[in-house]
Amino acid sequence: MTALSCHGVSRSFGALRAVDDVDLTVVPGARHALIGPNGAGKSTLFRLLTGRMRPDAGTVQLGDQDVTRLSEVRRSRLGMSQTLQHASLFASLTAAETVALAVRRHGPAGGGARIVPWPRRQPDIDAHAGELLARVGLTDHGSRPVPALGHGERKQLEVALALACSPAVLLLDEPAAGMSPAESARLLTLLTDLPDEVTVLFVEHDLDLVFDLADRVTVLHLGRVLLTGTPDEVRASDAVREAYLGTARREELFTS
């Protein structure tokens, strides 16, 4: 059984084959990392998996359903949620209002209701928003306007928004980008504490975070899968070392 998979997925931009015949399988409950040097095709593959972009060839499956031609919205309704490397949040709302809006639209309390001008307070929606803020460590920041949040706190808020969809599969695009070491440590705790029923696939450049969190790692290089294995297998791979650093020593790449 798989939570998310793709088979023979390719995407070209003119003469550049950014993703080249990629097979990927993410099992239920996994913490699966997608890594690779710059230009490896990670961002393009992420867009193909989430529905932001259509493949030239191949298929994408969410569970046992073919979602290759479905939009991001349709995939979300089937249990896929995502955060983006450069997300847009409502600057006019507080953190709690932002999450409540997502709950109203996507969550069990909201039932997929149509977005309307800010409604009267609904205790069940506010309570669920509070639970999500607590889950991501923002209990004390609910009343703060989004622009007043720090970079790491906005990343935490984006995870809360993604969880408002009650996802079976959560895709994270460089969740630690721009974070300080302390913020990355908080993010690691947050992701480690996610319930087992939420499958996580994440693209990340911070290899310390990758090897602390992932139980499975896929390495892309030049648009193709170079290796999929355990963190220890990836650490030990000469092919991975050479893809990142040429002939440099492995300890220069894997420092922990």
The C-alpha atoms of residue 169 and residue 111 are separated, in whole angstroms, by: 19
Single-letter amino acid, residue 187: L
72 and 175 assigned to the same domain? yes
31-62 tens-digit pLDDT: 999 999 989 999 999 999 999 999 999 999 99
Q: For residues 161 and 180, state if they share a domain.
A: no
> What was the pLDDT predicted at 117?
46
Residues 241 and 130 in one domain: no
203 and 93 in one domain? no
Report which residue type is found at 231: P
Residue 110 sits in the same domain as residue 134 = yes
**For residue 240, what are the domain limits?**
1-79+168-256
pLDDT digits (tens, 9 = 90+) for 187-240: 899 899 898 999 999 999 999 999 999 999 999 999 999 999 999 999 999 999
Interval 144-169 mean pLDDT = 90
* CATH number for 17: 3.40.50.300
* 33/153 same-domain check: no
Q: Both 101 and 217 in a single domain?
A: no
Task: Clarify whether residues 162 and 236 are in a common domain.
Answer: no
> Among 2-6, 13-17, 103-107, 250-254, whose mean pLDDT is lowest?
250-254
Cα 160 to chain centroid distance, Å, stands at 12
Choose one of 139, 166, 193: the last residue of a domain.
Answer: 166
For the chain, give percent helix, strand, coil, nearest 5: 35, 25, 40
Supply the pLDDT for residue 255.
53
Element holding 192 (H helix, E strand): helix 181-192
Q: Distances in Å between the alpha carbon of 109 and those of 47, 122, 127?
A: 29, 9, 10
Task: Please give the model's pTM, rounded to 2 decimal places.
Answer: 0.86
Q: Choose one of 145, 166, 187: the last residue of a domain.
A: 166
Q: Does one domain contain both 30 and 102?
A: no
Q: Which of 227, 200, 228, 208 is nearest to 27 (CA)?
A: 200
Share of the chain above pLDDT 90, in %: 60
Q: How many domains does the chain have?
A: 2
Same domain, 244 and 124: no
